Structure 1
Amino acid sequence: MIDGLIAGRMYGSAEERSGQAGSAYVTCKVRAATDDGDTIMCNVIAFNDKVRQALLALNDGDSVSLSGALTPKVWVDKQGKPRPAIDLIAHQILTAYPSMASA
């Protein structure tokens, strides 16, 4: 496990779901810019109540920073080119909105 911090913009909206045991969680995607001008997609899942609520309040394109357990991945696009991706289990969140900044 890697403890990571990512910053980027929401890609679409967060979705609330529930597990088989009834536990609630939120999933979303964050698009983060790389130093070469490309972007990397981060697949986010959050179980913490405050982080879940903050993610649900964000809209497509909103800026967000998240920290948590990070797993790097690789996927292949339609042209057969390998592309990087990140899975993140979010433990903390920071947004531009004061009411969500201390989640």
Structure 2
Amino acid sequence: MIDALIAGRLYGIAEQRTGHAGSNYVTCKVKAMTDDGDSIMCNVIAFNETIRQTLLRLEDGASVSLSGALTPKVWTDKQGNARPALDLVAHSLLATGQATPNEQD
């Protein structure tokens, strides 16, 4: 586990879910840009009530910064290429508001 800070744009909208024991959590994806101009997807899960509610209010494309426990992963696409991915358990969040259509990629 790595304690990390990521920044990017919400990809899609956040979804609220309920665990087997009845606990609520929110999942979403954040598209972050790399130094070489590529992007990497970060799968985010949040258990904290404040973070959950904030993520649920954001629209697709909203700018966010999240910190928490990061786990790097690798997955293989349909062409057989190894691709990086990130899983983040969010502990804190900074959202800059909702994106307007011309701000989205």
TM range (shorter): over 0.9
Q: Which amino acid aligns with 2:42?
A: C
**Structure 1 residues without counterparts, runs of 5 or longer:** 98-103
Partner of 2:49: 49
Q: Per the alignment, in what secondary structure is the counterpart of residue 50 of structure 1? A: helix
State the TM-score, normalized to the length of structure 1: 0.92
Partner of 1:31: 31
Name the TM-score, length of structure 2 as normaliser.
0.90
Runs of at least 4 residues of structure 1 off by over 6 A?
none
Task: Name the Cα RMSD after superposition.
Answer: 0.6
How many Å separate the matches in 2 of 1:60 and 1:34? Answer: 20
SS at match of 1:36: coil
SS in 2 for 1:80: coil
Partner of 1:93: 93
Structure 1 residue 96: deviation in Å?
1.0
Distance between the aligned counterparts of 2:10 and 2:77, measured in 1?
21
- Structure 2 residue identity aligned to 1:57: R
Pairs aligned (count) = 97
> Which blocks of at least 5 consecutive residues in structure 2 are unaligned?
98-105
Answering whether residue 19 of structure 2 is matched by residue 19 of structure 1, we say: yes
